[in-house]
Amino acid sequence: HLTCPKLACEPLSNPHLNCTKKDRLPQEAQRTWLRIVALGVSLALVTFLLWSSAGIDDDVAEVVAHRGEVLEGRFIEVPCSEDYDGHRRFEGCTPRKCGRGVTDIVITREEAEQIRRIAEKGLSLGGSDGGASILDLHSGALSVGKHFVNLYRYFGDKIQTIFSEEDFQLYRDIRQKVQLTIAEAFGIRASLLYLTKPTFFSRINSTEAQTAHDEYWHAHVDKVTYGSFDYTSLLYLSDYLEDFGGGRFVFMEEGSNKTVEPRAGRVSFFTSGSENLHRVEKVLWGTRYAITIAFTCNPDHGIEDPVLT
Q: Which is nearer to Fe ion, 171 or 231 (CB)?
A: 231
User: Does position 179 bind ligand AKG by CB under 6 A?
Assistant: no
Of 217-236, which residues contact ligand AKG (CB under 6 A)?
222, 234
Q: Which is nearer to Fe ion, 214 or 222 (CB)?
A: 222
Cβ atoms within 10 Å of 143's Cβ, excluding its own: 25
Residue 140's closest CA among 194, 215, 197? Answer: 197
Buried b (16+ CB within 10 A) or exposed e, 145-174: eeebbebbeebeeebeeebeeebbebbeeb
246 neighbors 217 (Cβ within 8 angstroms) = no
Q: Candidates 32-40, 62-70, 109-117, 218-226 — which segment interacts with Fe ion by CB under 5 A?
A: 218-226
Of 245-304, which residues contact ligand AKG (CB under 6 A)?
249, 278, 280, 290, 292
Return the one option of ligand AKG, Fe ion, none that residue 178 interacts with (CB less than 5 to 8 A, by type). none
Q: How far is 101 from 122, CA to CA, in rounded Å?
A: 29
Binding pattern for the stretch 199-218 against ligand AKG, x by CB under 6 A and - elsewhere: ---x----------------
Tell me which amino acid residue 60 is: V
Q: Which is nearer to Fe ion, 83 or 222 (CB)?
A: 222
Q: Candidates 18-26, 85-93, 141-149, 221-229 — which segment interacts with Fe ion by CB under 5 A?
A: 221-229
Catalytic position from the list 100, 116, 175, 288: 288
Q: How far is 230 from 89, CA to CA, in rounded Å?
A: 11
Return the one option of Fe ion, ligand AKG, none that residue 280 interacts with (CB less than 5 to 8 A, by type). ligand AKG
Q: How far is the CB of 39 from ligand AKG (least distance, A)?
A: 43
Cβ atoms within 10 Å of 111's Cβ, excluding its own: 18
> Is 88 among the residues known to form the active site?
no
Q: ∠ at Cα 18 (13, 24), nearest 5°?
A: 80
Q: Which is nearer to Fe ion, 103 or 272 (CB)?
A: 272
Binding footprint of ligand AKG, residue count (CB under 6 A):
8
Residue nearest to ligand AKG (CB): 292
Q: How far is the CB of 279 from Fe ion (least distance, A)?
A: 8
Q: How far is the CB of 296 from Fe ion (least distance, A)?
A: 15
Q: How far is the CB of 202 from ligand AKG (least distance, A)?
A: 6
Residue 265's closest CA among 67, 100, 91? Answer: 67
Q: What values do phi and psi take at 155, rounded to 5?
A: -95, -20
Q: Which is nearer to Fe ion, 138 or 223 (CB)?
A: 223
User: Does position 222 bind Fe ion by CB under 5 A?
Assistant: yes
Which H or E run contains 30?
helix 21-53
Q: How far is 118 from 291, CA to CA, in rounded Å?
A: 11
Residue 269's closest CA among 229, 219, 239, 225? Answer: 229
Q: How far is the CB of 276 from Fe ion (least distance, A)?
A: 9
Q: What values do phi and psi take at 220, rounded to 5?
A: -155, 165
User: Which residue ranges make up the site for ligand AKG (CB under 6 A)?
Assistant: 202, 222, 234, 249, 278, 280, 290, 292
Where does this chain bind Fe ion (CB under 5 A)? Answer: 222
Which residues are the active-site residues? 288
